[in-house]
Structure 1
Amino acid sequence: MQSINITVINPRFMAVFFGLGVIGLLLTLTTFRKFEQPRAWYGLVGTVIYLIGTIGVTLVGNMPLNDALAVVNPNSAAGAYLWINFLTDWTFWNHVRTIAAAIAAVLFTLAL
């Protein structure tokens, strides 16, 4: 997991991960004049869910766990203890991200 956390920090991943939030915001802002149309609300709600449920959860939930894991020796007792807690907590937040991203994708599709 330590090597995955290092590998994932690259320009391509960051562009896709954060870029979708930026694109969602830009598209939402461009449809402000059309908010009387139900489809515009799907885009707005999809953007909010993506930003909070995917990016927000990553920054507040997953990244602190990744940072804690990065500094521990995986072969130590402290590393084993941290790993047990890491698995439970990280998996929970990852499920939240996955569900939020799926809901946002459905809402973006409906907005089209």
Structure 2
Amino acid sequence: MDVFLVVLLVLSVVGSGVAGGVFYAFSAFVVQGLDRLEAADAARAMRAVNVTAVRAPLMLELFGTALVAAVVAVLALVAPGPETWWIVAAAAVYVLSVVVVTGGANVPRNNALAAAATDGPALAAAWRSFRPGWMGWNHVRAAGASVACALFAIALAIAW
């Protein structure tokens, strides 16, 4: 495996690991911390988080990693080696569990929370509606990104 491909593979390991860590943090303590607030206040806080999340640092990390993973998978398929299917599996897991789940499950819930009325009872109801589904899909993202990281690491170990 050439140096360029190894560098991209290392970026895939790091990027998917960071994504898994971000999602894990939300599942393990951020949202649970918000649950200690009144429901309307939790909704307000999550709305603020969602506004700040859609900026270059997180978007570049999540979607830049998806792009690098896709490029690594294509390059591995063009010049197959013993690590090829580990790379392809890792890229598929990452794209499906992070990109597809984020766009198909978490973002629509974020948008619904953002669109909720701003009075306390409406926000409290929006939080109670938002939280279970959002958290469930966030667990999927955390697990998927972590599995992708492990698969990329296996591929790197094989290629090295």
**Which residue in the other structure is 1:56 paired with?**
100
1:70 to 104, 114, 139: 114
The alpha carbon displacement at 1:35 in A equals 3.3
Residue ranges of structure 2 left out of the alignment (5+ in a row): 1-45
Q: How many residues align?
A: 111
On the 8 A contact 1:42/1:107 being kept in 2, the answer is yes
Distance 2:117 2:108 in 1: 17
Q: Write out per-residue CA displacement over residues 8-63 of structure 1, whole angstroms, 9 at most, x where no aligned residue.
A: 111121111100010011111111144352x1111100000000011110000000
TM-score between both structures, scaled by the size of structure 2: 0.66
TM-score between both structures, scaled by the size of structure 1: 0.92
Worse-superposed segment, 9-18 or 94-103: 9-18
**Which residue in the other structure is 1:2 paired with?**
47
The alpha carbon displacement at 1:104 in A equals 0.2
**Which residue in the other structure is 1:22 paired with?**
67
In structure 2, the residue corresponding to 1:73 is in which secondary structure? coil
Which amino acid in structure 1 is aligned with residue 99 of structure 2? I
**Which residue in the other structure is 1:105 paired with?**
149
Distance 1:36 1:7 in 2: 41
Which amino acid in structure 2 is aligned with residue 3 of structure 1? A
On the 8 A contact 1:46/1:108 being kept in 2, the answer is yes
The alpha carbon displacement at 1:65 in A equals 0.3
Identity percentage of aligned residues: 29
Distance 2:137 2:77 in 1: 32
Distance 1:82 1:94 in 2: 18
Which amino acid in structure 2 is aligned with residue 85 of structure 1? S
Distance 1:5 1:53 in 2: 19
Does residue 13 in structure 1 map to residue 58 in structure 2?
yes
Distance 2:139 2:80 in 1: 31
Aligned-residue CA RMSD (Å)? 1.3
Q: With CA pairs under 8 Å and 6+ residues apart, which has the higher RCO, 1 or 2?
A: 2
The alpha carbon displacement at 1:81 in A equals 1.4
Residue ranges of structure 1 left out of the alignment (5+ in a row): none
